[in-house]
Amino acid sequence: MNRLAAGLIAITACAVSSGCAMQAPKPWQKGVLAKPEMTMAGDMLELKFNDHTWTSKEASFGGFGVGGGGCGCN
Amino acid sequence: MNPSLLRPSRHAIAAALLATVGLLPAAHALEAGQPAPAFILPTADGKTVSLAALRGHYVYVDFWASWCGPCKQSFPWMKALQAKLGGPHFEVVAINVDEQQADARRFLGDAPAGFTVLFDARGATPAAYGVEGMPTSFLVDPDGKVVLVHQSFKDSERDALAQKIAVLVGGAQP
């Protein structure tokens, strides 16, 4: 009976603690994320400017926004 | 308590725990050789098309969305594919996964299809096919088996992919 109680407590704890967890959207659910207004930078010109600085300072580029509209293909 | 009675409940608890934390393995992408999941989906004008009704054809099932750049590139290519191979042996069926059908209609206004376009806003079909990126396409043989899986669409691949499909489809023609 103790085991049953422990099991129930464990299940309840997991259910409650994962209540706020969000599953990553599936590839076909990224329509909203792919909208231009969903990029982290508010302004495309500012993003390009920052990207340019990043490229020259870090010798690398990219990694911002959702490539190819979140297709997962490039 | 009889220990043998406890065993299934332990499994049940373990499964419940895994399920609550979302660790159960997700559905895997379909691979060549596996049967293609059935679908019955509506067209823009309210008709329905099912995969079962296309038995006996090679069906090129493509999953696309209006917000996906490579999908736009793939449309003229699929149109050409349908024009070249379409008929009693081959059919292009493009399944739109946009949540708002209006987005898809706008897309189709810019790039007229010339092949069958179906709509699945709920995403049940891409889930059944285990789509891992947009676009993903599956060539289904006349027996309903997947023979080719292709993810993404790049300009550099268009000729090779068309060639591969033509060879697979051509082999079935009398």
Query: Residue B116: what are its φ and ψ, rounded to 5°?
Result: -70, 125
Query: Using a CB-CB distance cutoff of 8 angstroms, which residues of chain B are in contact with residue A30?
Result: 65, 67, 134
B114-138 tens-digit pLDDT: 999 999 999 999 999 999 989 999 9
Residue A59 lies in a domain: yes
Residue listed under structure tokens 């999908």: B71
Over residues B13-18, the mean pLDDT reads: 52
**Residue type at A61?**
F
Retrieve residue A28's tokens: 């076909």
A15–B contact, CB cutoff 8 A = yes
- Domains in chain A, number: 1
Distance CA B11, CA A7 (A): 11
What is the b/e burial string over A16-47, where b = at least 16 CB atoms within 10 angstroms of the residue's CB?
A: eeeeeeeeeebbbbbbeebeeeeeeeeeeeee
Assess whether pLDDT exceeds 50 at residue B30: yes
Instruction: Please report, for residues A11, B62, B150, the alpha-carbon distance to residue B74 in angstroms, rounded to integers and kept in the order given.
Output: 47, 10, 12
A29–B contact, CB cutoff 8 A = yes
Assess whether pLDDT exceeds 50 at residue A69: no
A36-52 tens-digit pLDDT: 777 776 777 887 888 88
Topology adopted by domain B29-170: Glutaredoxin (3.40.30)
Q: Do B126 and A73 touch (CB under 8 A)?
A: no
> H helices of A1-74, where?
2-17, 44-58
B30–A contact, CB cutoff 8 A = no
Per-domain boundaries in chain B: 29-170
Residue A32 lies in a domain: yes
Write the residue in A10, A31, A68 that is nearest to B69 by C-beta: A68
Distance of CA B148 to the CA centre of its chain: 11
Over residues A15-19, the mean pLDDT reads: 70
Residue A58 lies in a domain: yes
Q: Confirm whether the ipTM is greater than 0.85.
A: no
Write the residue in B6, B70, B97 that is nearest to A28 by C-beta: B97
What angle (nearest 5°) sits at the alpha carbon of residue B2, between those of residues B1 and B5?
105
Question: Domain span at residue A30?
Answer: 25-66
Interface test with B, best of A30, A71, A74 (most B CBs within 10 A): A71
Write the residue in A14, A32, A71 that is nearest to B133 by C-beta: A71
Residue A17 lies in a domain: no
pLDDT of amino acid A36? 76
- Nearest CA to B94 out of B156, B49, B36, B158 is that of B49
Q: Do B67 and A10 touch (CB under 8 A)?
A: no
